[in-house]
């Protein structure tokens, strides 16, 4: 996350430098810099939300897989065989 924020800041600083160098009208430059700051904030929040969602998804997937591997298939098979045997005995 820290690395991503650094990259975002680097790109956005480059944009601001370009605006400060090539845009001579101060009001337009201020508006563009405000827009760049808003982009920066939005991008960081989006990245954070995506990271949190993917982390939670991974944790829940691991938990579900762990619970799946805890299932005792031999007991399940024994139960099925008992039910089958009981059904056949009634016939």
Q: Give this prediction's pTM.
A: 0.68
Number of domains present in the structure of the chain? 1
Range of the domain at 74: 2-90
pLDDT digits (tens, 9 = 90+) for 57-83: 999 999 998 887 787 777 888 888 888
By CB atoms closer than 10 A (0-12, 13-18, 19+), residue 44 is middle
Report the mean per-residue pLDDT for the chain. 91
pLDDT of residue 91 exceeding 70: no
């Amino acid at each position: 996350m820290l690395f991503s924020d650094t990259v975002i800041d680097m790109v956005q600083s480059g944009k601001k430098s370009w605006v400060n160098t090539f845009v001579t009208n101060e009001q337009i430059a201020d508006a563009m810099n405000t827009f760049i700051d808003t982009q920066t904030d939005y991008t960081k929040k989006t990245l954070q939300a995506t990271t949190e969602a993917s982390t939670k998804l991974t944790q829940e997937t691991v938990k579900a897989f762990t619970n799946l591997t805890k299932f005792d298939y031999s007991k399940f098979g024994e139960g099925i065989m008992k039910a089958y045997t009981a059904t056949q005995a009634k016939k």
